[in-house]
Amino acid sequence: MKSLKHLLSCVALAALASACGTKQATDYSEYSQDTLDYLGIKDVNYLSAASKRALERGYYKNAEWFGRFSVENLTGDFAYEKGVIRRDPSKVLKIDGRYYTWYTKSIGPGHGFETGDPDKKVFPWDKSEVWYASSADGYHWKEEGLAVGLGPTGSYDDRSVFTPEVMAHDGKYYLVYQTVKAPYLLRTYNQIGMAVADNPHGPWTKLAKPILSPSSETGEWKGEKDDRFAVVSQGEWDSHKVHDPTLMYYKDKFYLYYKGERKGEKITMGGREIRWGVAIADNIEGPYVKSKYNPITQSGHELAIWHYDGGIAMVSGHDGPEKETIQWAKDGINFEIMAVVNEVPPALGLVESLDTEKHPTEALRWGLSHKYVRTPGKSWLESDNYITRFTFSPIQKKRI
């Protein structure tokens, strides 16, 4: 009787501890000898903080998700061209045996925000449009022309349309992309637009309104100076910009993954405060409803996202405590870190025709990314950008 009472009070205490958010002591003796050996742990009674982390976070799992990125230059119209910006390639679609990608294109360098001339290009991706190119082999690319241009003066996309992502669905093509309305100031809100076509060559018809906007009603700028760090209150994690849209057809719905930037952005132990969320719609053209679980990441300047094993996998690029990781969520929302990888190339565009179920990272076998060409002594804003090809090689059994 005593032991039953004791057990019940332990259960009650454990429930209380978890309800109060108190961390319960981990029983490390539950780990198998194989696991301890894998992590080089000699005695489970003498665990350093690092050994405890390794056990708790499962550093003995998921080696099949690890690999290395490398990058090479392309030929044809994707070879570096002085004074031209080609960047942020979309996914690569294979249509009638040819590869297609959509990307940000503009001419000339950015000049920053202090020129005093509101018409001067600020960022490399300012005053940009969405162009597209095709290739027979994925190495030699031919620029096909403009896909989505600027909207008329006064519209939500009259200053720049950029960083596109593409999806083919039910015989139609959908582009989602970032939009900026003039003037382009540091505090300007950025939105996400969508255009639809029956054919990869267009013509593209834009939806009348953006499909996603920042939570700009939250937070408050401080003062009149165009300073995005000065705030009375920060607002929600996506109160300033919604960026880098990626559309996925998942569980009979449309999942629009996007990056948020916040009014009064701060620095974290992993760099810039950057997070991702998802907005879900029953119909591809929307309305897109932001998930209550947002933000669903605490990192990732750019994410490349693919279907794997009934869930959603992603690789997170720079920025944030979980930068340069590959993650997987069995429900598309609750992501777990599967591997820590090296220098993820910027702006990965994945190849849709790869058989992503073949291996956890088959989706990353090759794809597109971009590079900066910086003139010595000049700011990164003034650099040219060009599109490159990346390869991801899973763990090398043979090492030197």
Please give the residue ranges that form the binding site for ligand AAL (CB under 6 A). Answer: 88, 125, 162-163, 178, 243-244, 301-302, 347
H or E stretch at 352: none
Q: Using CA atoms in the order 148, 150, 152, 158, what is the torsion angle rounded to 10 degrees?
A: 140
Outline where DSSP puts E strands in 98-137: 98-107, 129-135
- Least distance from ligand AAL to the Cβ atom of residue 87, Å: 7
Residue nearest to ligand AAL (CB): 163
**Distance set, CA 280 to CA 36, 168, 252, 294 (Å):** 42, 17, 10, 11
Interatomic CA distance for residues 80 and 386, integer angstroms: 5
- Which of 127/243 has CB closer to ligand AAL? 243
CB of 259 to ligand AAL, least distance (A): 6
Give least dist CB 123 to ligand AAL, A: 7
Q: Which is nearer to ligand AAL, 51 or 298 (CB)?
A: 298
Q: What is the smallest separation between the CB atom of 304 and ligand AAL, expressed in angstroms? A: 12
The residue to which tokens 């519209």 are assigned: 155
Q: Which residues pair with 168 in a beta bridge?
A: 173
Residue closer to ligand AAL, measured from CB, 325 or 356 = 325
- Shorter beta-carbon distance to ligand AAL: residue 88 or 265: 88
Q: How, if at all, do strands 220-221 and 231-233 pair? A: antiparallel
In the complex with ligand AAL, the residue whose CB is nearer, 127 or 301, is: 301
Comparison of 110 and 360: residue with beta carbon closer to ligand AAL: 110
Helix (H) or strand (E) holding 398: none
DSSP strand pairing (172-180 vs 191-197): antiparallel
Containing 49, the helix (H) or strand (E) segment is helix 49-57
Least distance between ligand AAL and beta carbon 190 (Å) = 7
Look up tokens 């008329």; give the residue. 152
CB of 396 to ligand AAL, least distance (A): 29
